[in-house]
């Protein structure tokens, strides 16, 4: 019942589900995949806006930092890359939200990325959902990614909700993201 790690990125880019949840291992690339989808949206749609809210500032920063990595592969698309906000030559903008009630009631954007939702208080997460709305012909899309830290915690509630409401749910584990160890390193 596991997904390959790029299936959720493809879904986010092409299908733009209103809400989707990704559960994966620590270090499995969930945040980097969210960064890739954000990069593609920011180039694909003029004046597109994305907000990133993480379980911590460092977690939000992982998605955000991926944008700079992708700029290395296609240089010159970023117009400005600051500490917490970036702008693209397409007029698109990406910024990090602080985990506070005031910041999640900010401007409306078509894309909202929530990372490490198992660490975001449910009331803050739910308040943030109100920020996301269709804009400039692009449908609203909220993506939630996380490891599963607590039995019976927010991820459990999201999994139950996803099953009940048929919200796209992707899960993968370390076995889907392991690299083969070459013989010269480990032996035959």
Instruction: State the pLDDT at residue 92.
Output: 98
- If 0-12 CB within 10 Å is exposed, 13-18 middle and 19+ buried, where does residue 182 land? exposed
Per-residue model confidence (pLDDT) at position 6 = 85
- Secondary structure string (H, E, C) spanning 111-156: EEEEECHHHCCHHHHHHHHCCECCECCECCEEEEEECCCCCCCHHH
Determine the Cα angle at 130 with ends 146 and 147, to 5°.
5
Please give the pLDDT value at position 174.
Answer: 79
Position 183 scores a pLDDT of 79
- β-pairing, 78-81 vs 169-171, is unpaired
Helices (H), the chain: 7-10, 30-44, 57-73, 122-129, 154-165, 174-177, 183-186
Grouping H, G, I as helix, E, B as strand and the rest as coil, residue 95 is strand
Given a contact cutoff of 8 angstroms between Cβ atoms, the answer to whether 48 and 41 are in contact is yes
Tell me the three state secondary structure of residue 94.
Answer: strand
Please give the helix or strand (H or E) that residue 93 lies within, else none: strand 93-96
The low-confidence residues of the chain, meaning pLDDT below 70, are 181, 186
Give the integer Cα–Cα distance in Å for 15 and 28: 23
Residue 73's pLDDT is 86
């Amino acid at each position: 019942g596991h997904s390959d790690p790029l299936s959720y990125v493809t879904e986010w880019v092409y299908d733009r589900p209103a809400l989707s949840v990704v559960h994966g291992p620590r270090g499995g690339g969930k945040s980097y995949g969210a960064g890739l989808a954000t990069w593609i949206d920011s180039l694909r749609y003029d004046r597109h806006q994305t907000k990133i809210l993480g379980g911590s500032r460092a977690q939000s920063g992982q998605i955000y930092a991926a944008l700079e990595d992708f700029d290395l592969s296609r240089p010159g698309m970023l117009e400005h890359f600051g500490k917490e906000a970036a702008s693209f030559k397409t007029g698109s903008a990406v910024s990090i939200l602080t985990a506070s009630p005031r910041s999640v009631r900010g401007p409306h954007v078509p894309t909202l990325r929530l990372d490490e939702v198992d660490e975001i208080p449910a009331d803050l997460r739910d308040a943030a959902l109100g920020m996301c709305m269709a804009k400039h012909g692009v449908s609203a899309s909220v993506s939630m990614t996380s490891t599963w830290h607590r039995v019976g915690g927010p991820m459990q509630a999201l999994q139950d909700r996803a099953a009940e409401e048929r919200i796209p749910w992707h899960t993968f584990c370390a076995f889907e993201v392991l690299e083969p160890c070459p013989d010269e390193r480990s032996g035959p």
